[in-house]
Amino acid sequence: MEFIKIVGSGNDFVVVDNRTGKIRHASRLAKAVCQRKFGVGADGLVLLEQSRSADFRMRIFNPDGSEAEMCGNGLRCLVRFIKIKKISAKNHFIIETRAGLHQAFITNSRVKISMAVVGRPVLHQALTVGGQDLTVHSINTGVPHAVVVVADVASVDVAALGPMIRFHPAFLPAGTNVDWVQITGRQTLKIRTFERGVEAETLSCGTGTVAAALVCFLLGRVVSPVTVTAASGEKLRVSFTPDLQKVFLEGKTSVPFSGTWLEK
Active centre residues (catalytic): 71, 205
Tell me the pairing of strands 100-107 and 11-17: unpaired
- Please state, as a whole number, how many other Cβ atoms lie within 10 Å of the Cβ of residue 167: 13
CB 217 within 8 A of CB 228: no
Q: Please give the distance of CA 82 from its chain centroid, rounded to a whole number.
A: 18
What string of H, E and C letters represents the secondary structure of the chain? CEEEEEEECCEEEEEEECCCCCCCCHHHHHHHHCCCCCCCCCCEEEEEECCCCCCEEEEEECCCCCEECCCHHHHHHHHHHHHHCCCCCCCEEEEEECCEEEEEEEECCEEEEEECCEEEEEEEEEEEECCEEEEEEEEECCCEEEEEECCCHHHCCHHHHHHHHHCCHHHCCCCCEEEEEEEEECCEEEEEEEECCCCEEECCCHHHHHHHHHHHHHCCCCCCCEEEECCCCCEEEEEECCCCCCEEEEEECEEEEEEECCCC
